[in-house]
Amino acid sequence: MSGKTSLPTVVFINHWAAQLGGAEYSLLDLISALAGKADVHLFTSENGTLLDRLAPHAVQCHVIPSEPSLINVKRDHLIRSLVANIPAVIGFVRFVIRLRAAVLLLHPDCIHANVPKSHIALLLLHLSGVRSRSIIHFREIFRGKSFAGFLYRILYPLSGRTTTIIAISNAVREALPGTLRNRTEVIYNGVTVAPRPPSRTHTTPPVRFLYIGRIVPWKGCDLLIDAFTHLTARIGPHEGCLSLFGGTSYWNTGYRTKLMERIEKNDLSELVTLHDHIDSPYREYPEHDVLCMPSIDEPFGRVAAEAQACALPVIAFACGGIREIILDKGTGLLVTPGDSMAFSDAMLHFVRNPADIHTMGYRGRERAAALFNRETQLPLLLGRILG
């Protein structure tokens, strides 16, 4: 590792690298925008897709191995999972000690922590004497008075006053403990908005419904399949189809297996297809008509913003950050959280009113261009990082 250069030195910490989620895609955008403006270093605990995707960029990647079982430490049951995974906790402490030694050699101008375990690592760095200016990027919604929130309330004031806090939506900001919320700035994730919307490769019917995201329980794919089951029971098998794209990142495959069983049980195998993760969602948007977001308390909804940028209306539950992306009855339809029949009603609306696919889709594109365009959002983040 080298010392200071003529450019400012920026360190990113993203604990996970094997697979990509919304946090990693946003990090890729941010690092690519920093090319030529800073000496960029990424610290992570594993090799994987994130490092492969960063290979073309001027960034030095450093892997400090950590105990793999750390994945089992979940913020929603933090005390229980900490007690059950003591070796992982010890491994994390060792990770932070090695990270501290590496960071001190770089003398960074700014340290950016991208995901919760990286936040804790950054706060521990501050407590151990690292005084670099830093950014905590919140991308999660804290539920109630969680122990995770308590931990942030304790560690953050002890870390000094040189830490900037950024939330990816007002929903994320409002869920933070008060000591953090009052100092948090909202900067939305940026997505690509092409000069012209992509050309559709088909005309309706059938209406082609789309899901893109991780195939894990909190994303609500089971609710989406239930909603589509209700839909086909009402309109028959020829008016709509559903494609789900996503990997089972950092989760066991049991949930995916249950989804496949549900599809087969409801005789939907010819109408519902479950695909693996795709690296280029923008290839799928022109092939479909309506994006479905069945997750509860989505912190932001990057896929929803991307779909709007491609002139697709979005159906989602009216909760979390998604309410800041979708205008109900304007750029899509928002329904009662967790209600699969209400979600089915929204799907039926687009089957019976196909003109709204075009109208709401183009309104959504205008909204994405105004609020979520990477050309306007990324400079805001760069300004905070470069000072």
- Dihedral angle computed from the Cα positions of residues 231, 232, 237 and 238, in that order, rounded to the nearest 10 degrees: -20
* pLDDT score at 78: 56
Number of residues that make up the chain: 387
First-to-final CA distance of the chain: 24
Question: CA 178, CA 322: separation in Å to the nearest integer?
Answer: 22
Q: Helices (DSSP H) in 35-174: which residue ranges?
A: 49-54, 78-84, 86-106, 116-127, 147-158, 170-174
* pLDDT score at 199: 80
CATH homologous superfamily, domain 207-371: Glycogen Phosphorylase B; (3.40.50.2000)
Residues of the chain with pLDDT under 50: 2
Which stretch of DSSP H or E encloses residue 32? helix 22-34
Same fold, 9-190+374-386 and 207-371: yes
* pLDDT score at 386: 94
* pLDDT score at 168: 97
* pLDDT score at 82: 56
Q: Residue for token digits 């990142």? A: 249
Of 41, 43, 50, 42, nearest to 17 by C-alpha is 50
Which stretch of DSSP H or E encloses residue 39? strand 39-44
The structure's pTM equals 0.90
Three-state DSSP state, 7: coil
CB 160 within 8 A of CB 134: no
Domain spans, the chain: 9-190+374-386, 207-371
* pLDDT score at 75: 57
pLDDT 10s digits, 118-153: 998 999 999 899 989 999 999 998 776 666 677 777
Annotation: CATH topology of 9-190+374-386 = Rossmann fold (3.40.50)
* pLDDT score at 275: 95
